[in-house]
């Protein structure tokens, strides 16, 4: 009877996720009230406790809210805590893992999807870059691809390197006049996303700075570069004294987890409405071009979870066997087949898909680089077909690279 009551209790609580039920924090974030969203999420974490099974979810969205608010130091504190939680190998106890065979994965501590754990380092790198801390930004950008390397080689995942992280590290290396490493990362970015328009200038410029005429000729032929392209590329050379505004554009909303129609106890990611593909950027009222996509979070999320379907299904099948065995034992030990049947119904009812996820991520990450002379500039980002985002003003010195981030949600 004690086992039966425990199962009933788990059945009634398994699907409850305090973070995923908090629609008000989502609404505040969508409306651009990032500080209010962060404060509410912090209160939610406090009420649930640091050891709650949703702690990672809270830290992820607190970090993202502070990031979008421009409070990068506080954002980093939340992301570093999230990274610590996600990295703990023994985070899920054996008792909780065994219990999920009889009930639901929802009772476990949320450890994050692989792509979510990688994005923690991506956002740390972005925050450090936005703070002007090139050294730590490079450390985190390198960690992104180190995590992916481990997932591929140790976890046997079919992942590829992050074009966004590679490109960000290339920019940072170039800012430090480390053109060899910058060139390597620009070439890595090209292998991952060869349709990114700005690379034609970046690759040629690094080859030019490294005095590699054969490489310069290769890119000339690859991109059909003109003298005008060469002049554009050289604008960011160390002797030009040109500064640069680098717009980091976080576009849309990431997919949402729902039960998989093929097996409703397994989660599946579904795209949410994202009507905007890119944004136009104006500097002091002058059109500077459109942002370009470098990281498709939506596609990565869907693909990564779909690849795990077989492993999750195997566990669910093992759970079915365990449920039948436990229900049989309850009926036998109590001499009540009806009680065994009720216990089985309770266990099956509790076994629902774990639809928790990092709820406020963008659909994708985009970049636009804008060479500028020294001076003060007002930057406006206009998502395609929508109203402009709140503008930002920045002071640029000779040769300075300044990062600005903008977030759009439909």
Statement: residue 112 has pLDDT above 70: yes
What local confidence, expressed as pLDDT, does residue 387 receive?
94
Two tokens, residue 308? 């795990």
pLDDT at 371: 95
Listed residue (8, 83, 70, 80) closest to 35, CA to CA: 70
**Is it the case that residue 230 has pLDDT exceeding 70?**
yes
25 phi and psi angles, rounded to 5 deg: -65, -40
Q: Is-contact 298 363, C-beta < 8 A?
A: yes
Mean pLDDT of 168-197: 95
Confidence band for 343, pLDDT divided at 50, 70 and 90? low
Q: Give the pLDDT confidence score for residue 101 in this predicted structure.
A: 40
Rounded to whole angstroms, how far apart are CA atoms 333 and 268?
Answer: 38
CA angle 361-27-390, nearest 5°? 75
Return d(Cα 345, Cα 8) in angstroms, integer: 10
DSSP assignment, residue 367? E
Across the range 344-351, mean pLDDT stands at 54
Q: What is the mean pLDDT of residues 159-166?
A: 88
Predicted confidence (pLDDT) at residue 292 exceeds the cutoff of 50: yes
Q: How far is CA 110 from CA 88, 92, 106, 118, 173, in A?
A: 12, 9, 8, 15, 35
- Per-residue pLDDT, 345: 57
Q: What is the pLDDT of residue 161?
A: 83
Burial (CB count <10 Å: 0-12, 13-18, 19+), residue 63: buried
SS (H, E, C) 240-306: CCCEEEEEEEEECCCCEEEEECCEEEEEEEECCCCCCCCEEEEECCEEEEECEEEEEHHHHHHHHHH
Question: What's the CATH class of domain 2-177+238-408?
Answer: mainly alpha
Compute the mean pLDDT over every residue in the chain, rounded to the nearest whole number: 86
Predicted confidence at residue 35, as pLDDT, reads: 97
pLDDT of residue 155: 62
pLDDT, one tens digit per residue, over 270-287 is 999 999 999 999 999 999
Q: Is 90 exceeded by the pLDDT of residue 96?
A: no
What pLDDT does 340 receive? 56
Q: What is the token pair recorded at 350?
A: 């509790």
366 — pLDDT class (breaks 50, 70, 90): very high
Which token pair is 376? 């003060």
Question: What HEC string does 63-128 produce?
Answer: HHHHHHHCCHHHHHHHHHHHHHHHHCCCCCCHHHHHHCCCCCHHHCCCCCCHHHHHHHHHHHHHHH
pLDDT attached to residue 339: 59
Decide if pLDDT at 21 tops 70. Answer: yes
Cβ partners under 8 Å of residue 56, min gap 6: 82, 85, 86, 109, 110, 111, 112
Cross-strand pairs, 367: 248, 292
Q: In what helix (H) or strand (E) does residue 341 lie, and over which residues does it extend? A: helix 337-350
Distance CA 192, CA 162 (A): 8
3-state secondary structure of 379: strand
Residue 184: band (very low, low, confident or very high) from pLDDT cuts 50, 70, 90: very high
Average pLDDT over every residue of 151-162: 75
* pLDDT computed for residue 326 by the predictor: 56
Q: What is the pLDDT of residues 26-57, one digit of tens each?
A: 999 999 999 999 999 999 999 998 888 899 99
Q: Backbone phi, then psi, for 364, in 5-degree steps?
A: -155, 165
Phi and psi at residue 302, to the nearest 5°? -65, -45
Nearest to 189 by CA among 172, 177, 208: 172
Look at residue 401 and give its three-state secondary structure: strand
Lowest mean pLDDT across 101-110, 130-139, 218-227? 101-110
- pLDDT computed for residue 309 by the predictor: 73
Q: Which residue has the tokens 């409850």?
A: 16
How far apart are alpha carbons 39 and 409 in whole angstroms? 20
More confident residue, 321 or 31: 31
Lowest mean pLDDT among 93-107, 144-158, 213-227: 93-107
**Cα separation of 39 and 296, whole Å?**
29
**Would you state the pLDDT for residue 97?**
39
Residue 197 reports pLDDT greater than 80: yes
């Amino acid at each position: 009877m004690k086992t039966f009551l425990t199962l009933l209790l788990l059945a009634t609580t398994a699907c409850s996720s305090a973070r995923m039920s908090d629609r008000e924090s989502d609404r505040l974030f969508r409306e651009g009230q990032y500080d209010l969203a962060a404060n509410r999420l912090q209160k939610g974490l406090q009420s649930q406790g640091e050891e709650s099974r949703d702690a990672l979810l809270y830290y992820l969205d607190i970090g993202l809210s502070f990031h979008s608010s421009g409070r990068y130091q506080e954002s980093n504190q939340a992301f570093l805590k999230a990274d610590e939680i996600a990295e703990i190998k023994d985070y899920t106890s054996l008792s909780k893992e065994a219990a999920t065979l009889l009930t639901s994965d929802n009772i476990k501590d949320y450890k994050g999807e692989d792509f979510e754990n990688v994005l923690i380092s991506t956002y740390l790198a972005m925050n450090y870059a936005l703070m002007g801390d090139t050294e730590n930004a490079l450390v985190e950008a390198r960690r992104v691809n180190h995590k992916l390397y481990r997932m591929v080689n140790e976890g046997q995942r079919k992942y590829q390197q992050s074009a966004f992280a590679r490109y960000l590290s290339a920019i940072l290396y170039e800012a430090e006049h480390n053109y060899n490493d910058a060139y390597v990362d620009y070439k890595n970015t090209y292998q991952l996303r060869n349709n990114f328009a700005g690379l034609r200038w970046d690759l040629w410029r690094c080859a030019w700075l490294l005095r590699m005429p054969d490489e310069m000729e290769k890119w000339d032929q690859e991109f059909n570069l003109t003298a005008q392209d060469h002049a554009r590329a050289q604008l960011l050379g160390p002797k030009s004294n040109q500064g640069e505004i680098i717009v980091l554009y976080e576009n849309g909303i990431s997919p949402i987890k729902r039960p998989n129609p093929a097996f409703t106890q397994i989660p599946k990611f579904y795209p949410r409405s994202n009507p905007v593909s890119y944004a136009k950027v104006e500097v002091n009222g002058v059109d500077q071009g459109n942002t370009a996509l470098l990281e498709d979070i939506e596609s990565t999320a869907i693909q990564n979870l779909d690849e795990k379907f077989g492993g999750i299904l195997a566990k669910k099948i093992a759970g079915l066997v365990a449920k039948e065995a436990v229900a049989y034992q309850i009926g036998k030990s109590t001499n009540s087949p009806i009680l065994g049947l009720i216990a089985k119904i309770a266990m099956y009812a509790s076994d629902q898909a774990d639809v928790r996820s990092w709820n406020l991520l963008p659909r994708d990450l985009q970049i636009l680089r804008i060479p500028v002379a020294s001076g003060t500039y007002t930057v406006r980002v206009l998502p395609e077909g929508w109203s402009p985002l709140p503008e930002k003003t920045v002071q640029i010195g000779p040769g300075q690279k300044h990062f600005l981030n903008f977030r759009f949600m439909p």
